[in-house]
Amino acid sequence: MPERNRSENILSQEEAKMYHRLARILPPPILGQPMASLLTTIPLTSVFSNEPANSWKDYIQNNLRDVIKLDDSDFVPRGTIAWPAGSIPIFQWSEPTAENPRSEPIFNCGGPYTRGRTVWSKRNNDRNTNWLRRAYRNVPEAEIFFDAMTNSSTKEEMNGILNANFPRMQSTPFDDRVKNLYSTSIDVVMTLDSGWDTPLEHTGSHGNIVPIWGGEYDGLTGAGMVEGELRCTEAYVGELLRDDSGNIDAERVSYRMQKIDDKIRVYRDLGLPMVVLPHPALTVIGTGPNAYMMSDIAFSHCHSVSMMLRHPRYNDETWDHYNRAMDLATRSFQPGGPNYTLASLRMQSSVTIEEIRINLDTFLESLDLEDYNAPISLLHGEYVMDRFNTHGYNQYTIANDMGLDPHSLPGLRMTAEHSTLGVAFVDVPTPIGYGCSMHHEYDYVMMAGVAAAMLHYRFSLLQNHMFGNSEE
């Protein structure tokens, strides 16, 4: 699948499309109220101040161990090489054995035909080298490695170059994770700007920009949030984490998952919810002005959760689960326009929502009979379809990998009782992996806006049918 070229594009085509869309669905600013403002590629440490009591250094010393769930083994030194943060080292030195008392550089990544093999033994394998170049093309230091591997005349010459440029060192898993967190960024951060309408000549202290939630697009591991936890499915793992035969580089997937999970845990500890979306979140439903992207649903829900966290009644025990759920449902993404929202449906009907369990078999069978049948498109969708066909992936693969029972998927039932048109309801499953890192017990309401649009459509069909009968 096409990926970013950092020398030409700040964002990949996929990320740019998603964030363009997110910027368009932001609520319009209102004078006197904070304005929602979108920032992209923001350093994780930017949420910490330079004040000693609130600094990143202080946070590492006093909070980080518990936040990212470290144990004693994470502080045990181990042999590694000097390698830039953000990617797993492409090679490591083997442990000396009785048969081979001298350490050899061996691959630290790749599928079963690469990982653990000596670098020297694969030096003439152009297919393997080309794949590794694609996988590490955003790591400038990797070019030194490739030059040593492909141009050295002897093993000793290659080992000397690698030793000189990637010296051996001792490091702990804790050191590596801190280094990654310090150098990493959040793909998109939603903020509230309280000073957007302040006159330019104003010199007071009014006008802060505070983060309220974060979002990540991960087309590499196919990770997503399920029940408040980061999980991934092999069906969504991108091409750069597979070898040419389609085998998944499990070590690099695990490494990247750890990086993302640590970011989520830090943000959650600071009271900032996050959403992590795989490539299918770029799926577009419909065409023209009424088209929407699946990421709209997840981003809107995460925004709603952040608003609930800031709500004056958040700590009010009388604000019960159902009323909180209905408040989040009203704030959910409304794809049908102003006349087809949940709010307008509630003005016409008595509406109730409830969390249900949906059998995937039953749901897939019902799709052909569904009233709401809009065209669907996906950027680079041919890559995804080819991957599914080649490896035999399906919706059951995704559900099982994500730790869900395909016969009992979380979903929403919305029931509306109209005074003249009667009662109608719709059942919609929660998109797998689109959940929020905080208050996942409300994830089922993210589809409330979609469900409301479907009920509006059904009531319009009933109304047309009634008028048709009256004309006869």
Going residue by residue through the chain, which has 472 residues, state the pLDDT in tens, using 9 for 90 and above. Answer: 344 444 445 678 888 888 888 888 888 888 888 899 999 889 999 888 766 667 888 899 889 999 999 989 999 999 999 998 888 999 999 987 777 778 899 999 887 888 899 999 999 999 889 989 988 988 988 999 999 999 999 999 999 999 999 999 999 999 999 999 999 999 999 999 988 888 888 777 767 889 999 999 998 999 999 999 999 999 999 888 988 788 899 999 999 999 999 999 999 999 999 999 999 999 999 888 888 999 999 999 999 999 999 999 999 999 999 999 999 999 999 997 888 899 999 998 899 999 999 999 888 877 654 444 567 888 888 888 888 999 999 999 999 999 999 999 999 999 999 888 889 999 999 999 999 999 999 999 999 999 999 999 888 888 887 766 544 4
In the block, residue with structure tokens 């939603």: 190
Q: What is the pLDDT of residue 218?
A: 92
Tokens describing residue 444:
């089922």
Burial 67-106 (b: 16+ CB within 10 A, else e): bbeeeeeeeeeeebbebeeebbbbbbbeeeeeeeeebbbb
Burial (CB count <10 Å: 0-12, 13-18, 19+), residue 42: middle
Tokens describing residue 78:
């181990």
User: Are the C-beta atoms of 161 and 144 separated by less than 8 Å?
Assistant: yes
Query: Residues 6 or more apart from 252 whose CB is under 8 A from it?
Result: 88, 109, 135, 241
Q: What is the pLDDT of residue 199?
A: 81
Q: What is the pLDDT of residue 50?
A: 65
| List of E strands, 7-56 | 35-43
Q: What is the pLDDT of residue 382?
A: 86
Give the number of other CB atoms < 10 A from CB of residue 414. Answer: 24
Question: Which residue, among 314, 275, 268, 281, has the nearest Cα to 190 in the 3D structure?
Answer: 275
Query: Residues 6 or more apart from 191 whose CB is under 8 A from it?
Result: 36, 37, 38, 39, 209, 210, 211, 212
User: Are the C-beta atoms of 197 and 32 separated by less than 8 Å?
Assistant: yes
In terms of pTM, does the model score above 0.85?
A: yes
